[in-house]
Structure 1
Amino acid sequence: MRNAILLILTLSSWCASAQNLIPNGGFEDENICVEYNQNCAPEAWIANSLWANYYYYTPGKAYDGSHFVGLSAGDAYQKAAHNFIRTRLLCGLQAGHQYQLEFWVRSRHDILDSIGVYFSPGDFLFEKRDFKQLQPQLWATNTLDTLYQDPNRWQKVRLIYTAAGNEGYITIGSFNRKEYTFRGLPDFKREYYFFLDAVSLIPLDKKEQLCPQADSIKKDIYIENPRHDFLKRLVYINSRNPPAVKPLPKTVTVARVMPPPQHIDTLIIPDIFFNTASYQLSPKSYGLLDSFTNKLRTFTIDSVVIEGHTDSVGTLTYNEALSRNRANAVKGYIAGKLPPNKTTFTSRGFAFFKPVRSNRTPAGRQQNRRVEIYVYRKV
């Protein structure tokens, strides 16, 4: 049995201040549609379903934050009823340059290998061709470690894209040309979903940054408020006579003075350092935490993030409270050992929504019951 795992990770500062070309990649900013005056969609993103059947506000179930989207990959009665979601990029990409695309997915259906990413100069919503006639440049299956079907397990997709230089929009959805035979009940009405969160597109070139117009472009994108019937009419008109494609201003490559690198110290505290089924710290944890905090006294600390996790045994309400209380218990202990009012602490509980191992075995459940401490510090 392992008592603890201590990992030291070094990240360059450009990763911390990533130049994300995707607006509202976490779907946290809500769009207030003009037709019903409701927060029915994420800002910047529009799905080809044209309705509000893809936006979810479910704290604890999102990969990060409280919002995520669900996209249909099939219909119980209607074939090829796929749902796609698109957004406009904040800046144009430089031809031949490479960009890292990252997002998180989960599903209880055997469809993760059908998730594709389609870059296009014009708006996907006005595309005349059927999705089966389009060729995504990237497929999620090329990076997934497993096609594990677990509705509670988020899996990271990380892909490298070489730009053609004419990209204006990015679309994500199920592009599989062969329809699946789904089993079990649909996720929403008649439809079978996969879920998507935390989308980012970042230049691999450390000197490549957002274009100066990125903020104004983002404001223009957020102004796109038509949804439902208003959007249906807009799509009807523009799909028959697509508007001229307006190229985006390109990202810029500049010389950068690199500040001192930032380090992250990560301490994983297993379940054995807490009293059984309790958030009270066991005395055996004191030596480990004291050693950790003593080491931190020698560094300049920016912030400390503490996250609690449980296995899947028990109710969601119970596990949310247990994971949150365990994180707060560790926060209280560490805060009491560091100089007062000098460090920003953040604690949160994720219940059983971020397992590191399968909850189907006792060994897996034991590893999932943990508290993770992330200490952001300067060299």
Structure 2
Amino acid sequence: MSSITRRDLMAAAAATALATSLAAPALAQSLPQVEFLYSPYADYAPFFVAKEFGFFEEFGVDVTLSPKGDTAETIQMLASGNIEAGSATWASSLFNALDRGATVAIIATSARMPSTVPSPSPFMVSQLAWDAGVRTVADLKGKRIGIPGPGGFGMFSVGKALEKGGLTFEDVEPIFLPPPATAAAFANGALDAGWSIEPFAQQLEKQGLGRRLVEDHTFGTELGLIAFNQDFVTENEDAVVEFMAAYLKAARLLDTGGWNDDKVLRAVAKYTGTEPDSLRGIPYTIRSEDGAIDMASVREQEEFFRSRGALEYDGPVDIEGVYRLDLLKRANELLANKK
């Protein structure tokens, strides 16, 4: 073979490589883009897995995962169109926003508490309080209790735990702080007990800072939901369906033994800021297989916040009017047809 022929072949190969490298970004840019708000908790694992395992791209949607604040911030950003999607808890701020006509569409559940122990979201007592004689919920009267916020699942969960000892929020001193801050508060005596969630609950145990006090107080409770900006949904129904199909694929992988996969643990560790080994063996939240929401559980939480005087309206809010079961059904069908 002559040198000229070799040069021709090399030039052709280089041109092909260049065309391919240019086409790849163009292809990525052509996919519908969704920015999704998450919190660094293990119950967001399906989104982490769908991203790291390439499920979103497989179904044809380009997803960016962005850390968020609380539920109120999530709903505000969704309603204003500053973000396309996110997960939030069933909080008083969400119920009030829906009553005011917030432009969000609810698509599916994001997490549900299992009906087994150990719980992925236990009510914990500090080791210092335990050593001082706190052995039951009733012993916490007048004590400082940690809650992640004044109107979300954490407050509902703590309220149910206090009921186990015949207490209410009026019997304790609520202290609002996020789960990552609980370790320091337990260690220095700033908190006597409080709400937690994985992977932070197991860390408290391993560090000898806290013990599980109540775990059977929220069996089967809907913890969170997946919501989209309503205008985005109207203009991009197919993208929402594709996003949800990828989410369902990841959720089913996790709920059928996926937590034993080291690759899964590395994916979750990346977004929770923990080591993979710290996730091994911890209890996890679950989901319904088809992603449907248990509305009875949601209504129970709505009534809890009403009893706290946190709702600005009377009667049940119209959740069904923004719950897009039709898109969830299409996502299940898309996933089934992919197999």
Same fold by TM-score, threshold 0.5 exceeded?
no
Bin for the TM-score computed over the shorter chain: under 0.3
Greater relative contact order (Cα 8 A, min sep 6): structure 1 or 2?
Answer: 2
TM-score normalised to structure 1 length: 0.23
Higher helix share: 2
